[in-house]
Amino acid sequence: MYLLPLAILPGLILLYYFYKKDHASPEPWYHIWITVILAGIFVLPAAFAEIGLSSLTGLSEVGSAINVFIYSVFVVSLVEELCKLLAIRVFAYRKPEFDETIDGLVYGAASGAGFAMVENVFYVLEHGFAVGVMRAFLSVPLHVFTGVILGYGLIRLKLHGSYLRIVLLFVLSVVLHGVYDHVLFTMNAGSPGISFLIAVCCVVILLGFARYYARKYQTSVEDNSPKPSVFMKFFWMIAGILNLLASAFMALGTYANYSEGKLDDPGIYATLILLPLALGVFCLMRQRRYTWS
């Protein structure tokens, strides 16, 4: 039983973080809890759907790298992100209180947290403390952040009829979730470094999107306007540009090695591309907090 708090608390903490972003007109707590419960209930249909699709297609988390990738993206990730989307759509989306952009983020976090907590209980009870700690810092945030992104897409759909945005955000969530699952499924237990770094990069990229939306659309009586600081804005901007250039040069080098048949360890190259890319995006988002004046 001592493992249950480890399975549940990370999701609740992240949910509370996004809930506190809605200062002006907080959502009813019972609406949020219903969304959490619905997402948790959807874990079982998701598991059955994944088992059924795996049986039909013959795909699983073992086998060739390409088969595992297809399984990760088009079976596991697609099903789970669709379930989190439905957990918001069938209840919160229909309520009149679902009327501000920040509301989409809050209910998205509730859906992601509910799904992650129930799934986490099964994993932690089966695999123990070490898996619980890793999932607390990786899998749970991944589910919450993809939920936030999907919630943002749904509120923009409701307010502005933006079908293209929800499709693009859904694809983004599915792909990054799928890459995350793929590297963990294929991770070498004896040398997990590269795969672990790629998984971290996926979570960091999703964190960047979720935090950007949360800061941009939070409702608060506080003054959240950019702070005047030429030095800090210049620092973060240069850091972001340098990281993006490093990622671009690494991508060009990787392509050249691939063309010449010298791509001996794709995991290392992927890490060296994704890590500076994630850091560059983070730095450029950070510089928005400051002005040139």
Helix (H, G, I), strand (E, B) or coil at 261: coil
Would you state the pLDDT for residue 222?
47
> Between these two residues, 228 and 21, which has the higher pLDDT value?
21
- C-alpha 242/C-alpha 134 separation (Å) is 30
User: How does pLDDT run across 97-117, given as a tens digit for each residue?
Assistant: 999 999 999 999 999 999 999
Highest mean pLDDT among 45-54, 187-196, 197-206, 283-292: 45-54
Alpha-carbon gap, residue 159 to 174, rounded angstroms: 23
Burial of 42: CB neighbours in 10 Å, binned 0-12, 13-18, 19+: buried
Query: Residue 274: helix, strand or coil by DSSP?
Result: helix
Strands (E), the chain: 227-228, 290-291
* Calpha distance 149→137 (Å, rounded): 18
Instruction: Answer whether 117's CB lies under 8 Å from 51's CB.
Output: no
Q: Is the per-residue pLDDT at 275 higher than 60? A: yes
pLDDT at 2 over 70: no
Sequence-separated (6 or more) residues with CB below 8 Å from residue 99: 158, 159
Task: Give residue 221's pLDDT band: very low, low, confident or very high (50, 70, 90).
Answer: very low
User: What whole-number distance in Å separates Cα of residue 169 and Cα of residue 190?
Assistant: 35
Contacts of 166 (CB under 8 A, 6+ apart): 150, 153, 154, 156, 157
The pLDDT assigned to 237 comes to 87
pLDDT band at 236 (very low <50, low <70, confident <90, very high): confident
Q: How far apart are CA 151 and CA 18, in angstroms?
A: 12
What 3-state class would DSSP assign to 290?
strand
In order, the DSSP letters of 223-251 are --SPEE-HHHHHHHHHHHHHHHHHHHHHH
Interior/surface letters 236-254, b for 16+ CB within 10 angstroms, e for the rest:
bbebbeebbebbeebbeeb
* Entry pTM: 0.76
